[in-house]
Each structure stands twice: as structure tokens, then as C-alpha cells.
Chain A
Amino acid sequence: MYTVADLRKGLKITLDGDPYLVIAFDFAKPGKGQALYRTKMRNMINGTILDRTYRSGETFEPAFLEDRTMEYLYKDDDGFHFMDNQSYEQFAIPESALGDAKNYLIDNIKVDVLLFKEKPIGVDLPNFVNLRVVQTDPWVKGDTSGSDSKPATVETGYVLRVPPFIEEGELITIDTRTGEYSTRVKG
């Protein structure tokens, strides 16, 4: 059982029998009024987006999902393909159900595939993944523009802001919960 205090981006709950993923969350408190918990949720089965505002004291059932560790294999027109390394079963998940997770899927990465009634409907990523920078502009020493970050493209095609000293070919750690650069992987 979750309470409003547990609400955050990424939480999965059950509403009217369906699993929902919280995709945006904010706390509001209009002028000395009561606390309001504003959420945007995506139905993990049909993709419907719901806006709901909750008050203190409300509780939620977790989404009842099975998770199985699988390896990411490849992508084609049917979506992203994963394999259960225990049973060698393969599953395809459409891009729309993956959300931001597709930014971090490199070949052979192991993720938790979420199944609802035997059907794969999404993935859970590790909080941090290491990805290689494939394109970024070089850092000009003595740059006085005052810029504290620059765009970089990583091997999955995802583009994010990184510190100026990051160079092409370097491995960086990304926080998958925020999509932000975290650190440079040394060595």
C-alpha cells in the first residue's frame, strides 16, 4: 500500500484494476490551503493519460506486475526485443510502451521487463547506466563564453547536457530517473 507521500515519477500503482505509471508529479499548496498531490499517469496497457489530484490520507495499491530480468537484443519494426536468459523466451515491446527507457537500451543491457497477465508492458531500468559519448564538440581551452555545459550524443542516439570537459569516446554515467548526466567513468 502506498500513501500520497510515496507518489513520485516512476511509481506504478493500480487504478480501476489497471496498472498505471506516474509520469509527472508535483506537490501544491495554494495559499495556506491543504496539500494537494498532482499527478499525471499513463495507463500501462492502453497508453491513456490521466490527470489526478489527491489529498493527504489517500492510499494506493501497487501495480501487480511480474518482473523478469531480460537482456535487450535488438530493435525492429515490431519494437524492442528482449530475451529471458533462463527460458530463452523472447518478447517484443513497442516503442510507445518504453517511454524514456529507450534512451538507455544498449545491446545486451540487462533490464527488468514488466509483465501484466503474461504480457510485457514496460521495463524497469537500473538507476544509473554507463553510455559512451559518440558526438560532442571539443572543449576550447580558454573559452570565455561562460557556458557550463554542452550537448552530447550517446551511443543510443540520446542527447543530453554534459560538462564542457567531456570528450568524444568517453564513458559517462547517466541517472535514468532524471535523464541527466551524473559523472564521468574514469579509466
Chain B
Amino acid sequence: MTDSWRISRRSGNLARRAAIIGELRSFFTARGYLETETPFRIPAPAPESHIDAVPADGWFLQTSPEICMKRLLAAGYERIFQICRCWRTAERGSRHLPEFTMLEWYRTGTDYRGLMEECEELLREVAKGTGFGQSISFRGKEIRLDASWERLSVRESFERYGGMPMEDALTGGVFDEVVAERIEPMLGLDRPTFLYDYPAELGALARLRADDPTVAERFELYIGGLELANAFSELTDTAEQRSRFMGEATVRAARGQLPYPLPEKFLAELADMPPAAGIALGVDRLVMLLLDAERIDDVVAFTPEEL
């Protein structure tokens, strides 16, 4: 059986996708960001307990360009961005592809709050530049991009929507379920929401808040219940980063996940990295949002099942 008709019907979506990616690029170029192309195949991905890299000829396909881009920061680059493919084993659903397109950008001299502002500017400009305007309609909701974006701490979100305090969800081992089932569907429904200050143990590469070390300076951007981006104030303490990686590696080993070597060059250079913040935004998700697509399948040329 042929998939031609289904694939041909996406041509309008793919044209809009290309326009959106063009706007993303113009936004960063106009702001003095350097577009980088770091290698896809790397010897040591960041060990994270719930992300699995695809092995590739002794090394791994990147799960994100994070490690190489932070090495560029440590080497003195101040504003960098990249739009590239990333791979994560066994992630497939209406919002997930095992091979997907990520936009990452990093900036020195700012923190996660600075990136929240830049996120707002980026999305407003991209929506405007591609003719979507400042009010986007997604799954029956009208979302105003020009309204002030909501900033909601993870702790507050548990109180408001979770039906239990954040601490109870953590000790009870149901944090992810509560976020996925009760909190996420309520976020960013009339204006975008930044969900911020994650429990310290859920930000492997994020700096802890100086005034409250129980939380990490990390946020996720949600629009229309869709998770779009994840950002950190970057951790620049080498010893702390090494010990967090070891912790994640221990969790991975206990679960029988593939071990990775530690990214030693990254760790060695981290001490030279100035204060910085970085963010990863799912490009396929952004296209889904602007096009009001039901499935991620609708915004890519091919799904793995069609190969």
C-alpha cells in the first residue's frame, strides 16, 4: 500500500513549517546570535535518567546539542543557536518522534528569567512574521501571545491543579503522573505559561536557586497544554556537575539502561563557562501549535512508520 496521498496532503503544512524555521533563523541572526552546527554523533551524551541515546558506531547520536554548545560557551562564544535533528530511543506518540527537530540557544550573562523574556519575543515575532498574528487558535482555545505570559512555579501548580503538595507527589513517586494528567492539560490555555523552579533533583544541568536550594532554576514553556521548551540557568560548578552526572549514571545503571562514558572534556571546560542560560525548543511542536495540528505526524515529511 502506498502512503503517497497522506504525504502529499502535508505539502501545505511543510511549506508553513519551512517559513516558521526561516523566521526562527532571522530572529536569532538579527540579534547577533551565531548559528552553529555541532556534530550529531558524539562520544558521551549528558547522562539523564529518562532520556536514552541511540548508539551509533561506538558513539551515540545526540539527544540534544547541549554538551557541544556549552563547550562553545566555555570557549568564549557568547550568543549561539542551532536548529538540528536529535534522537531519543523509543519516544513515539502524538507529540513525540524518535527523530525530531530541536532549536537550542544559549546566551552568556543572563539567567532563566532573561530567557523567559526572549521566548516571549521570539514567539510573538515568529507568529507575526509567518502571518499567524498574536492570537493563535489551538484545539478550540484562543491563546493570546500579546497578553502578559503567566509565570507559575511548579509548587504553585501542584497546589492549584495537582490535588496534592509537590513534596507529597515526589515522596509518593507520582510527580510525573500528576504533571502529565492533572497539571499539563491546564497550562497555557488562554496565554502561554512558564512553569518554573523544578525540584532540585529534576534539573541535572541546572543551577540551584541561591535563596532556595531545594529548587533548580529551570522552566518549561507550555502553550495550549503543549510542552514546547525547557530552559535552565546553566550550572557552571564542575564538581557539582560531575556529582550530578554520577548520580544520574547510578540511576541508569540500576535500571539496566545503557551506560555512557562521562563527557570529560565538557566537565574539564565547564569551569571556564561564564554565567549563562540555555533553552531547547521543540520545533515540530511549535509548528504543531501554530498550525493547530492534531499529531506531530502532520508536520513532518515522513514518520518512522512511513519509512
Q: CA of A183 to CA of B96 in the docked complex: distance in angstroms?
A: 27
Residue B146 lies at the interface, judged by CB distance under 8 Å to chain A: no
State A28–B92 Cα separation when bound (angstroms): 9
A32 touching B175 in the complex, CB below 8 Å, given contacts A26-B94, A181-B5, A182-B2: no
Task: Chain B residues near A38: list those with CB within 8 A.
Answer: 180-181
* A163 contacts partner chain B, Cβ-Cβ < 8 Å: yes
**Contacts of B96 on A, CB cut-off 8 Å?**
27, 29
The 8 A CB mask of A31-45 against B (1 = contact, 0 = none) is 111111010000000
A149 to B9, CA, bound (A): 8
Q: Mark B59-94, 1 if CB is under 8 A from A, else 0.
A: 000000000000000000000000000000011111
Q: Which of A27, A30, A35, A175 has the most CB of B within 10 A?
A: A30
Task: Collect the chain B residues with CB atoms within 8 Å of residue A128's CB.
Answer: 1
Q: Mark A87-115, 1 if CB is under 8 A from B, else 0.
A: 00000000000000000000000000000
Asked whether A29 lies within 8 Å of B91 as measured between CB atoms, the reply is yes
Cβ contact within 8 Å between A163 and B5? yes
Count B interface residues, CB 8 Å.
32
Cα distance A117–B244 in the bound complex, in angstroms: 55
A-B pairs under 8 A by CB, number: 71
Chain B nearest CB from A155 CB (Å) reads 20
Say yes or no: B5 contacts A28, CB within 8 Å: no
Q: Is B128 in the interface zone, CB < 8 Å from A?
A: no
What's the Cα separation between A53 and B48 when bound, in Å? 22
Instruction: Say how far B178's CB is from chain A's closest CB, in angstroms.
Output: 9
CA distance A38 to B93 in the complex (A): 10
B160 at the interface (CB under 8 A from A): no
Task: Given A28-B93, A31-B230, output 20 extra A-B contacts at Cβ < 8 Å.
Answer: A5-B90, A26-B93, A26-B94, A27-B92, A27-B95, A27-B96, A30-B227, A32-B51, A32-B202, A32-B230, A33-B176, A33-B202, A34-B49, A35-B50, A35-B91, A36-B176, A38-B180, A38-B181, A181-B5, A183-B2
Residues of A whose CB lies within 8 Å of any CB of B are 5, 26-36, 38, 53, 128, 146, 148-149, 163, 173, 175, 180-183
